[in-house]
Amino acid sequence: MIEINKGLQDIQYGFRKRRNTDDIMFMILNDALYALENQKVLVAVFLDVKAAFDTMVHRQILDGVLEAKIRGRLLAFSLSFLEDRDMKQCSSKVHDPQVTTVRRRIKFVIIIIIVNAVFQLLDSSDSSSSSDDEVDTNINEIARIFACGVGCLLLNRNEVSRNEGFIDRILPCMSEDEFWTHFRMTRTTFKKLEDYVTKHIEMKGQGGTEPMTIQETCLITVWYLAKQCYLRELSSLFARSVTAVWQAITRVCNILAFICVKDFIRWPGPSEVGDIALSFESSVKSGLPVPGIIGAIDGCHIKIKAPESDQISYLNRRMFHSIIIIAVCLPNKLFSYVSVGFPGSAHDSRVLCNSSLWFGVETSKNAYFTNSNYQVIGDSTFPCLSWLIPVLKDSSAVTSKEKACVQ
């Protein structure tokens, strides 16, 4: 019926006898290569109308076509396509079906208008009397019509239900304990993080959306890192798109990974080691002094998903996949050194021997320990070195006072 009514253009390849969509792909590829070789511009318009006909009331489609004053081959195409065609009306639990139907009807009419205008301009461009200037004008007109149509489609897209007012109404009402539960840090610590990120990031609004503030960016990132939730949950909670949420997380994490680490995770200098040693000595719970300690080292397993290759290397002794982090901590709970990324099956001592701390101390010990009176303390998994004191193992030769001193 479509062929009889001549409702299809010669360039239509899908759903036709003796033609295949592969043919149009090869033709587009050939035109693109020709345009590149001859330094010309190839204009292509792709419209995806997925299941548009099968999810709308067909009578409304025809009414919309007639209201748009569509005539000729495109009208014949619509009539022949909908003849004796089954209709499947989709329902939605979130949106009103009537509203959804109206939106789909508007989108379909807009697409019909765009395609009809493009066909008319292409027909006029194919005439032998058309000059190059007229062809260029028609191409520009096609681009303008298509851009306007896409803009209308975006304005009529389905709204995503999101919470509003989380930052303005709900967050200020949270107690300190609730804030800690959600963000795993106090408000004071979060304020310091916000102030630091403000110095290294510039927020810019995109399109018609309201620009995201530094506070909102940090809240989204810390919530994601603390709870490891889905991006769609954050999108609904903060009333932002999934893309905006992911961009916010990426910005802050890049600052923390490449800028913040250099300012906060650093080895103490010669003028600081004396105070750190005194702080360690006074913080021992047993009451026995431990002189010369400027750091406590330990390892920890971070659970990860099993990698595609070499999974056995990441399987630790507790039978889950992980990577190992080796860190040196100060008495004020700040890190002075961090090394992360070694496979979970490795021993802590092996990770230490392959770390930059080990090579740094072996190469230039004075840069880390100004004299032999300063050491780092660790558990029994680490080797006993001139600058590293492991916890004494349980032995009958060790007195209870000595054991309590190092433990």
pLDDT in tens, 200-259: 887 665 555 678 899 999 999 999 999 888 888 898 888 888 888 999 999 999 998 888
Same domain, yes or no: 341 and 373:
yes
pLDDT of residue 299: 92
* CB contact at 8 A, 149 and 128: no
pLDDT of residue 99: 46
Position 4 in a domain: no
Q: Sign of the C-alpha dihedral, residues 137, 143, 147, 149?
A: positive
Same domain, yes or no: 50 and 128:
yes
Rounded to whole angstroms, how far apart are CA atoms 250 and 67?
48
Q: In the numeric block, which tokens belong to residue 312? A: 């056995």
Count CB-CB contacts under 10 A for residue 87: 13
pLDDT of residue 144: 56
Same domain, yes or no: 250 and 280:
no
pLDDT of residue 226: 92
Q: State the maximum Cα–Cα separation within the chain, in Å, rounded to a whole number.
A: 107
pLDDT of residue 155: 46
Position 38 in a domain: no
Same domain, yes or no: 280 and 388:
yes
Extract the residue ranges of the chain whose pLDDT is less than 70.
1-18, 21, 46-164, 203-209, 284-289, 392-407
pLDDT of residue 92: 38
Rounded to whole angstroms, how far apart are CA atoms 47 and 350?
57
Cβ burial, residue 295 (10 Å; 0-12/13-18/19+) = buried
Q: Sign of the C-alpha dihedral, residues 368, 374, 377, 380?
A: positive
Position 93 in a domain: yes
Query: Looking at the DSSP assignment, which residues form a beta bridge with residue 339?
Result: 326
Q: Which of 264, 285, 304 is the last residue of a domain?
A: 264
Kindly give, in sequence order, each residue whose CB lies less than 8 Å from that of residue 342, ignoring residues fewer than 6 positions away: 323, 324, 326, 350, 351, 354
CA gyration radius, the chain = 34
pLDDT tens digits for range 173-193 = 889 999 999 999 999 999 999
Place of tokens 């971070």: 302
Same domain, yes or no: 280 and 243:
no
Instruction: Give the structural domain span for 348.
Output: 273-406
Q: Which of 155, 177, 194 is the last residue of a domain?
A: 155
Query: Looking at the DSSP assignment, which residues form a beta bridge with residue 337?
Result: 328
pLDDT of residue 332: 87
Q: Which of 264, 286, 318 is the last residue of a domain?
A: 264
Rounded to whole angstroms, how far apart are CA atoms 160 and 232?
11
Position 10 in a domain: no
Closest by Cα among 266, 271, 274, 278 to 336: 266
Distances (CA, A) of 8 to 239, 351, 359, 365: 44, 68, 73, 81
Position 36 in a domain: no
Same domain, yes or no: 247 and 372:
no
Rounded to whole angstroms, how far apart are CA atoms 368 and 360?
8
pLDDT of residue 4: 63
* CB contact at 8 A, 293 and 277: yes
Position 282 in a domain: yes
Rounded to whole angstroms, how far apart are CA atoms 364 and 373?
16
Position 1 in a domain: no
Same domain, yes or no: 214 and 338:
no
Same domain, yes or no: 279 and 390:
yes
CA neighbours closer than 13 Å in the CB half-sphere of residue 332: 10
Instruction: Kindly report the pTM of this predicted structure.
Output: 0.54
The total of structural domains in the chain comes to: 3
Indicate the residue type of 42.
Answer: L
Same domain, yes or no: 289 and 397:
yes
Same domain, yes or no: 69 and 131:
yes
pLDDT of residue 321: 94
Element at 341 (helix H, strand E): strand 335-343
pLDDT of residue 156: 47
Strands of 161-229 (E only): list them: none
Same domain, yes or no: 54 and 117:
yes
Same domain, yes or no: 126 and 227:
no
Position 368 in a domain: yes
